[in-house]
Each structure stands twice: as structure tokens, then as C-alpha cells.
Structure 1
Amino acid sequence: MQAPEIHPQAREYLDRQERLPLYPLRDRNLRFLRSLMRVTDWFQNRNPPVVGSTEDRTIPGPAGDLPVRLYRPDGDGPFPTVVFFHGGGFVLGSLGSHDLFCRHLVRESGCVVVSVDYRLAPEHPFPAAVEDAYAATEWAAANVETLSGDGRLAVVGDSAGGNLAAVVSLLAAERGGPDVDYQALVYPGVGITGERPSAEEHTGIVLLEEDLEWFRESYFGSDLNLRNPYADPFQAEDLSGVAPATIITAGFDPLRDGGKAYAERLVADGVPVRYDNYDDMIHGFATAPGANGIDRAHELVAQIADDLRDAFGLEAEPRE
């Protein structure tokens, strides 16, 4: 499940992160932390990969206007649509924190991407993020022409966003819509309860135990909520109706075993699953591509794009 050593680029990334005086996160002022991360996002997103177009707008949400960022590929379309949910422990993260990931996904997949700026905890604990995520997916399904879409729909997310993508897939199956054709979950925060060897072995690499506890307290609030399948879809009694899935984990990630266990649950309930474990990678590597980052992030985006194309019946495009 894990390589003998962390990949050298991932190790360099960790070394750079350790020089930032941010950890443990729960000891920092949350407003300052979010502001600092916005500045970091701005530097990271300079000279971003070009896509056909981007548009920041709001859509109707359960608590008022819900900000989203629309990314369209080159061409006239119509295109399949991907609704994307960012990670950050339900407490951090933004449209900016995952801008590069969304741009690469648009370029690789040829899909429209709708990135959702859902409400964050602790100001808005569970189920606020779930409500926003499901509302955004309903909106995407109902606004095909606005998106230059063709009616095909997938949900994608990393970490906390992977949890939300899985929950949206479950809700869509239970409520009879919208029709979700595929879900891609990148080191998702699922299978949270119970003892997991990866949590014991790799907490402290990117994710400190204090930070994991802070995220849980801020969003879930209580152990009772953790047993709710809309907080953790691993708790669902029946997953047989959810969309086919790609599930990706990282070898040196405390969330690894929960993601693997969820993949096994889906397979047991008859859901087609492609599971891949990047055995020399760490939590968060998907959003560290390119220069001074992690090259395997590009490999991950390409894999997700290929799986989306397969699910949508699209021809693969040659890569440079």
C-alpha cells in the first residue's frame, strides 16, 4: 500500500511546507489563516494554464447566493459537465485553492467544470456543505444550455471535496436525480470511523492529528453526525445505486485506508470501481503540479480525465 520511501518531489514539497509557521492549524486564527492562504493561492495561480473561458458567478443556493467558477474548454461544445468540490477539511479551501487543478482537468478532459465555493465550517457545520454541493449539482443538471453542456454529468472532489462528491452521488441515487454518470474521489475523507492502520502510521505527514480532530469538531460536531451516511457515505446501508467511480488514494496518507475501504464497499454493492493507490504520494499531492511541485499530479489529472472520457463515451485526445 505504500512505497519504501516518499517520492523525492513529495519530500521536497513537505520540506517547503514545514518551513511555513502554520501548523498545527487549529492553533492559528482562522480569519488570518484563510487570508494567508488566499495570498498563497494568488502566487500559485499566476500565469495559469489557458482554458477556453472562465466565469465567476453565483447560483441559487439553500442559504442564498452560492459562488461558483465555470471553466469551459476551447470549442463550441456541447460538452459533458463536471461539478467539482475542493478539499480543505470543510474548514479551508476556496475557488482559488483549486484553480490550477480545475484548469488542468478542463484541458485534459474536454469537459466544462463547475467549481463550487460551498459554505465552510465552523461557521456553517454539517450539513451546510452537503446542501450546497447537492444544490450546485442540481443546478448544473438543470442549466445545460448555460454551461454549453450536453446533459452528461459527473462529480469530482479531493479530500473533504471527495467526501462531498460521494455524498452527492448517494443523494442523487436515493432521490432519483439528478442523473450522475460518474464520480471521481481523490483521497476522499470517507470511512472515517474505526481504526485504520494508515491513520496510525501516517498522521503527521501533511495532516497532524490535532488538525484532523479540529476539522472533525468544526464540521461534524458530534460522533452522532459521523454515523450519518450524508456525513460519511461509508455508513450507508446500500450503495448499489450510486454512479460508477474512480477512487484514488496516496500511500503516505492517513485517509488512505478509508478510501480503500469505501472502494471495497462499492464493489461489494455491485458498483463499477477503478481504484488506484499512488503508493509514493502524500495527502494533497493532486494540487501541487508542475514547477516546484509534484509531477505525478499531472498523472493523476490525466487518469481522471481518461476515466471521465471513458464514462462519457468520448474519444481520447492525444497529449503532447
Structure 2
Amino acid sequence: MGPIKVFSLDAGAEFAGEVAAELGVSVAAHEQRDFTDGEHKLRPLDDVEGADVYLVQSLYSDPPGAAGGSVDDKLVRVLFFLAALRDAGAARLTAVIPYLCYARKDRRTKLRDPLSSRYLASLLEAMGSDCVVTIDVHNLAAFENAFRCRTLNLPARPLFLDYAVELLRDESRGLVVVSPDVGGVKRAEAFRADLAERLGRDVGQAFVEKYRSADQLSGGTLVGEVRDRCALVIDDLIAGGGTIERATGALHRAGAARILALASHGQFAGDALQKLAALPLEAVAVTDSLPQAGVPRLNILRCAPLLAEAIRRLHDGGPAIELSL
């Protein structure tokens, strides 16, 4: 395999630069031009013929008025850039997408529902992607089944373990890991088992009942013992904040002594940050898979080293799969 080349859109250049620095390389040069009619052009300026190319870019919408654009704009640019890199002779092409858009729509829940995650997979493959790398995709089974090319989903669990162990090392009260819905129980159990091993003590588990219809949440029944304990709510995403709000309320009413929220991706859409500020949360931790402004009580965990290690192993021939466990 030829040399590593790391690219990014302009909108993700700072984050890609951190990943490239961890690899000991610079972000490869590209041209990105916007035309007056709304169309755009992207092309690599570095030679990529025979190279092992990685396009690093989360897919998300910027706040209204920001220069980065919508999630759909970023997606089209990524697709066109992937195709341009393939046409320029890249020997292998990997889309490194820490936050993968449209991944939550992975099954039909209503008549004639789309399967957006599958359509996205087809687009990435059609543009020449040999591999797609993500961090804590919403539904791992659906993600893996949607793609025919290689996929690598990296759990953010090691980052949260280091954070939690440092924070809880002197905590004498009981600990419990909480999933804010039934769908996240396996994720919470994996974190609970690793946390118990790292701390050398028992850690309990609980979950909160949740139902969703359109944008409306219901449920809220807590299953598990949390009274006078330190509760760690772990999830893959904080979007509108409703799920964390409902889980935190249930834990507070049940007498939890401390409540901390850990989420792989901090989208914080709408009034999510205002909701979080009003909750009895001691701290909220997210990775920097999505750009974050300075927010009180928000702890940002760097995921560039994790992505760089995955790229290094993919380039060297493995074992990258071990990072997915």
C-alpha cells in the first residue's frame, strides 16, 4: 500500500488536522470552490495515485447562519470528493465519518418508511469507498448490514472509561450505569463491565423505559436500584436532549446521589443545551466527533487519537478489528 494521505473538507479541517498530527503527517491539500449558482467543486491538489487515502469528515448541520452548511450539503461534497479521489488514482479509499448522518433511520416503523441508512451506504459505496469508519453508530447491526464494503465502528467506551475512572476513583457510594432506553442496554452493559473491572468493585445496571412516536417521547419508568448511588447515564447521542431529560428526571426522583451523562456525540439541536442546564446533572461528557462551543459542565473528550490508531492499523494491515470490541 502507498503512503497515507489524509483529506478533509474545509468545514472539518481543524479536526482532520488533529487526526493527521497523531499520525505524524499533514492534512493533504485540496481545492474547494463555491460558485455563484450554488454549485461547488472539490479536487485533491496532492498527488494521490497509488496512495492509501482517508477522507475525515463528520456529517452534521451547522447552526443557522454558520458558514459550514447543512448536513446534506456536507454529504454531497463528501460524495463528490470521494469520487474525485478515486478518479485521481487512489489505491484505497476510506471514508472516516466519526458522526454518520442518517444512521438513526435504519428500519421501517411506519408504512412506506424509507431506509435512509441503507441508501447512504449505497451512495458511499457507489463513490468508491473501500471502507467506512465511524464512532458509536446508532445501530451497529443495521450499520454493518447496510454496507457491502468493509466497515469499522469504533466504540468511544475507552475514552469514557478513562474519564469515569478518574472522576470516580474516590467515590465511596455505590455505582450504577444507566441506559436511557431499552435499546442502549447492551452498550451500557459493556461499559458497566469494563468500569467494574477498572475500578475493582461492583457496579450496578439500570435502564429507563422510553417510547417515541414522531418527536414525542413517553414512558419514564426506571428499572433498577439507584437510591443514594452515583448514576452514570450512557448513550450514543444527545440530540434534542429529551431522552437525557427524561432519564435524569427518573433518576433524581428515585434518589440518585450523583448523576453524570456520557454521550458519544453531542449534537445539541434546538434548545438541548438549555434543557441540560436545568437538569440536576453534575457533569456531561461528549467526544469532539462534532464541533463543540464552550459550555459550562460540558467535558469534551478527544477522539482524534482513537481515529488515528484505527487509520494506522488499517494502513499497516491490522489488527484494526480489535478496536471495534
More helix by share: 1
Same fold (TM over 0.5): no
Higher strand fraction (1 or 2) = 2
Q: TM-score, normalised by structure 2?
A: 0.36
TM-score, with length taken from structure 1: 0.36
- Structure exhibiting the larger radius of gyration computed from Cα positions: 2
